[in-house]
Amino acid sequence: MGDPALSRRGFLAASAAAGLGMTALSGCGGDSDGGSSGTTTVEWWNISTTQPTKDVWAALAKKFEAQNPKVKIKIVQLENDAYKSKMTALIASGKLPDIFHTWGGGVLRQQVDAGLVEDLTDRTKEWSEGLLPVAKEPYLIDDQVYGIPFDIGMVGFWYNKALFKKAGIDTPPTTWSGFLDAVRALKAKNITPIALAGKEAWTGMYYWAYLAMRTAGAEAVQKAADDKDFTAPEFVQAGRLLKELVDLQPFQKGFLGAAYSTPSGQAAAVGNGKAAMELMGQWAPVVQADAGKGLGDDLGFFPFPEVEGGKGAITEVFGGGGGHALRRGAPQAAVDFLKFFASETTDRELVKKTGVLPVVPAAEDALTDVNLKAVQTQLKASTGFQLYLDQAYAPALGQEVNESVAALIAGSKSPEQISESITKVAKEEQ
Amino acid sequence: MTSTFLPDKRAGSGTDLPPPPADPARGRARRRAVNWLTAVSFQVPALVLFIVLVLLPILFALYAAFFRWGGFGMPSDYVGTENFTRLFDDPVFLGDLWRCLLLVLLSLAVQLPFALAMAVLLNQRIRGRALYRMLFFAPYVLSEAITGVLFSMIFAPDDGLADQVLDNIGLGWVGGEWFSDPSTVMATLFLVMTWKYFGFHMMLYLAGLQSIPKELTEAALIDGASPWQRFRNVTLPLLAPTLRISVFLSVIGAIQLFDLVWVVTQGGPDHHSETMAVTMFQFGFKRYQVGYASAISVVMFGISLVFALAYQRFVLRRDLQGATTTMRGGGK
């Protein structure tokens, strides 16, 4: 390890640095409203650090400022993980930025319960009602609106049409047994059927979550979370079905140590044509092209297959998006900005330039990509919705689900054991 | 600080010497008080920093370990020793302890002897030894995060440098899944740790070797001692203080191992490379079970403390003689 016996001077330097870091951190939540000249500064924290989104968002902020001369938007952009840890520190201090990124679900609920988030139900009613219902779902807490979406998506299978053809699979499977047959057919042709990032536990969680939605139904999954009981036979069956898949050894070599977006990871394996498919959200094509070569026209999308005899329908979707919430007591200008950001004109621009899916139904025609259109069609026709489990649940439970499913895939826990361990943690939380 | 300091300065200033004190005993007492105050005033800044940034957090972690606490507000849900009983029931944490022991044993049995061998070798007059010394030491300078990224590329199954090279020299069967296979992940990790740290220990030993007077080895040579005898009976005993320090650093390092593991495997696959620090991070910063994570850190702290104290008391005692000031020795 580094230098366990730090000299005293080294230690002092380190602690001084830590101290400075702390001051810098606490300086971030600075006051925003008010100001002598009558202008309001609105602080906007987001995680759009990649291009082209970064520039598009900055331009939108400028445009809003031009329309509202008395408002200044201060953008703070942080990388995903850095954002999460900074938010943790801010929550402990009790002071959030005016506008901040949220995924909704359990994390947002914690912030709401701590009394830190503005209830937007009445303040946004007139314009937020027209937004795509499924997109608003993650930010509804006890039927109150706490966030406004700018993106929505869902998880499904992204597959390589050429490799499917090579294995003699004409149409993507719609049932679980058909899916397992497709995996066998691909294996028979020496094609790696599925890429999986075993190092990042959330990628495996998608399988179990979807299977549970297919066996028990989206409502029952929701109810299990409310009742803190995941021991119903359907959940154990979901584990068994996943085990069936794992037993076929469908994943790439060394998948247990593979990451998601690195050059030797899950997305690259599909993007380079080394594996035939992956179960991933609407961002998959972008990452495949970024980490690997990308499949272009060979890339296709199909929804997670139905389980024969299961209570869930193939039209129930599992996914999530991105949204913005306001700190409690944020100035009116922040609400105005949310309205501006969720307007048809803005959404059209976001869809065209940054590859998100439209949350304003009128902006739909801006969507041109065939696969994203397929995702959009699925979303609009959805009969049920479940947010990513690791976002929907409190962090401890979300992580337990991820890790339990990872253990099932690695072969160290049985379907019964993971239902039990998830239930146990669910019950421990409050 | 200054208010206590100023009078002393006036008393001790050389411009107008005070008359010699009538009672020498009183003068000594006063001088002692002045010394004491000077010492204290110099200590205060460091002491404040130490208390605020080290002592208080440690005490707070100790306190938080007895609560179920999510990290928001103050801990209020007192659960007694539940966190600790849960800890010692958790197969992952027990595994952490075992893996820690494994790394310590491997370091002592493989890494340090290897470093010693290289040090002895590079202490000879061989061509380009400065270059070798630099090359072997270089990995230590690299940050752990970069080392981690580098080796996860090298040991990527199939596509990685390691598997490609092994394939091309016909040793493909040696390669495999490295970090991705639960049964080989610890061995691979240890390989990387050895690569990174043997150079540091080698440098320590080289410094130690160079402080051994040549006359002693020459005398042994004249007495007809074989190379092994010279090493065993002259070099090794004289190198012992360095060895003891090196063992100490190695063990403490193994107990606290985090960065490398976090970057390369995050403790996986399936917890097979998890260390105590990784488990603590998972619970503290991913699950927000800060009370439980505090319990883990308290146990880690306890293990390090007990080891450090016992090692100093029983092993380093001779090396530290005279180096540490005790009340008895320093009061003169």
Q: Over the stretch A181-201, which tens digit does the pLDDT of each residue have?
A: 999 999 999 999 999 999 888
Which residues are paired to B183 by β-bridges? none
Give the position of tokens 């995941």: A230
Q: Cα distance from A91 to chain B (closest Cα, Å)? A: 7
Which amino acid does the sequence have at B236? L
pLDDT for B30: 86
Q: Point out the domain boundary residue: B64, B79, B112.
A: B64
Co-location of B10 and B59 in the same domain: yes
CB A107 within 8 A of CB A345: no
Do the chains contact at A264 and B268, CB–CB below 8 Å? no
Q: For residue A12, list chain B residues with Cβ-Cβ distance below 8 A.
A: 46, 49
What lies within 8 Å, CB to CB, of B118 at 6+ separation is B136, B198, B202
CB B249 within 8 A of CB A5: yes
CB A403 within 8 A of CB A203: no
CA distances from A359 to A319, A345, A379 (A): 14, 12, 11
Co-location of B154 and B301 in the same domain: yes
pLDDT for A174: 95
Note down the domain range covering B148.
91-330
Considering only CB atoms, B180 lies closest to which of A15, A16, A256, namely: A256
CATH number, position B243 = 1.10.3720.10
Q: Give the percent of chain A with pLDDT over 70.
A: 91
> A32-152+319-386: CATH homologous superfamily?
Periplasmic binding protein-like II (3.40.190.10)
Which residues are paired to B29 by β-bridges? none
Which amino acid does the sequence have at B267? G
Co-location of B230 and B300 in the same domain: yes
What lies within 8 Å, CB to CB, of A246 at 6+ separation is A408, A409, A411
Q: Does B311 touch chain A (CB under 8 A)?
A: no
- The terminus-to-terminus CA distance of chain B in angstroms comes to 26
Name the packing angle between helices B236-256 and B185-210 (round to 10°): 140
Q: Does B285 touch chain A (CB under 8 A)?
A: yes
- Least trusted range by pLDDT, from A18-27, A125-134, A281-290, B164-173: A18-27
**Cα(B57)–Cα(A389) distance, rounded to whole angstroms?**
33
Mean pLDDT, rounded, of chain A: 87
**Is B76 contained in some domain?**
no
**Cα(B181)–Cα(A336) distance, rounded to whole angstroms?**
53
Question: Given pLDDT bands bounded at 50, 70 and 90, which one contains residue A18?
Answer: very low
Residue B44 class from Cβ within 10 Å (0-12 exposed, 13-18 middle, 19+ buried)?
exposed
CB A268 within 8 A of CB A204: no
The token duo for A10 is 């080294």
The residues in A 243-262 lying below 8 A from B, measured between CB atoms, are 253-259, 262
The token duo for A316 is 């129930």
**Is B36 contained in some domain?**
yes
Which residues are paired to A278 by β-bridges? A158
pLDDT for B287: 86
pLDDT single digits (tens) A73-86: 999 998 877 788 78
Q: Does A406 touch chain B (CB under 8 A)?
A: yes
Backbone angles phi, psi at B282, to 5 degrees: -55, -45
Co-location of B202 and B250 in the same domain: yes
Co-location of B99 and B229 in the same domain: yes
pLDDT for B331: 39
ipTM of this complex? 0.77
pLDDT for B320: 67
| Extended strands (E) in B59-155 | 67-68, 77-78
Co-location of B323 and B283 in the same domain: yes
Q: Cα distance from A419 to chain B (closest Cα, Å)? A: 17
DSSP A306: B
Nearest to A270 by CA among A170, A341, A194: A194
**Is B21 contained in some domain?**
yes
**Is B79 contained in some domain?**
no
pLDDT single digits (tens) A344-379: 889 988 888 887 889 998 888 888 888 888 899 999
**Cα(A152)–Cα(B167) distance, rounded to whole angstroms?**
45
pLDDT at A32 over 60: no
- Least trusted range by pLDDT, from A2-11, A286-295, B52-61, B134-143: A2-11
A with B: how many residue pairs have Cβ under 8 Å apart?
Answer: 104
Q: Cα distance from B210 to chain A (closest Cα, Å)? A: 23
Co-location of B59 and B167 in the same domain: no
Q: Does A35 touch chain B (CB under 8 A)?
A: no
Nearest to B137 by CA among B205, B200, B207: B200
CB A390 within 8 A of CB A373: no
Name the closest residue on chain B to residue A263, using Cα atoms.
B153
CB A226 within 8 A of CB A392: no
**Cα(A136)–Cα(A322) distance, rounded to whole angstroms?**
10
Q: What share of chain B is helix, strand, coil (3-state, %, to 5)?
A: 70, 0, 25
Co-location of B180 and B310 in the same domain: yes
Q: For residue B181, list chain A residues with Cβ-Cβ distance below 8 A.
A: 254, 256-257
Co-location of B186 and B118 in the same domain: yes
Q: Give the percent of chain A with pLDDT over 90.
A: 51
How many alpha carbons lie under 13 Å from residue B65 in its C-beta half-sphere? 22
Q: How many domains does chain B contain in total?
A: 2
Q: Does A407 touch chain B (CB under 8 A)?
A: yes
pLDDT single digits (tens) A379-397: 988 898 999 998 888 888 9
Q: A112, A256, A397: which to substitute to probe chain B, counting the most B Cβ within 10 Å?
A: A256
pLDDT for A11: 43
Q: Does A5 touch chain B (CB under 8 A)?
A: yes
Nearest to B144 by CA among B13, B14, B258, B23: B258
**Cα B166 from chain centroid (whole Å):** 34
**Entry field: residues in chain A:** 430
**Is B218 contained in some domain?**
yes
Give the position of tokens 């390092």: B253
Q: Cα distance from A266 to chain B (closest Cα, Å)? A: 12
**Is B82 contained in some domain?**
no
Q: Does B53 touch chain A (CB under 8 A)?
A: yes
CB B46 within 8 A of CB A9: no
pLDDT single digits (tens) A112-165: 988 899 999 988 888 888 898 888 888 998 889 999 999 998 999 999 999 999
Q: What average pLDDT score do residues A219-231 get? A: 92
Do the chains contact at B249 and A12, CB–CB below 8 Å? no
Nearest to A215 by CA among A203, A229, A197, A232: A232
CB A131 within 8 A of CB A148: yes
What is the SS3 assignment for A242? helix
Q: Does A10 touch chain B (CB under 8 A)?
A: no
Name the closest residue on chain A to residue B157, using Cα atoms.
A254
Domain A156-318+387-428: top CATH class:
alpha beta
Q: For chain B, which ranges sit under pLDDT 50?
A: 1-15, 327-332
Peptide bond into B269 cis (omega under 30): yes
pLDDT for A26: 40
Which residues are paired to A160 by β-bridges? A299
**Is B247 contained in some domain?**
yes
Q: For residue B253, list chain A residues with Cβ-Cβ distance below 8 A.
A: 1-2, 4
pLDDT for B22: 59
Name the closest residue on chain A to residue B158, using Cα atoms.
A253
Q: Point out the domain boundary residue: B64, B82, B109.
A: B64
- Least trusted range by pLDDT, from A184-188, A270-274, A285-289, B131-135: A285-289
**Cα(A42)–Cα(A98) distance, rounded to whole angstroms?**
6
**Is B112 contained in some domain?**
yes
Peptide bond into A361 cis (omega under 30): no
Which helix (H) or strand (E) covers residue A384, if one does? strand A384-387
pTM confidence score = 0.81
Considering only CB atoms, B288 lies closest to which of A254, A395, A407, namely: A395
Q: Does A20 touch chain B (CB under 8 A)?
A: no
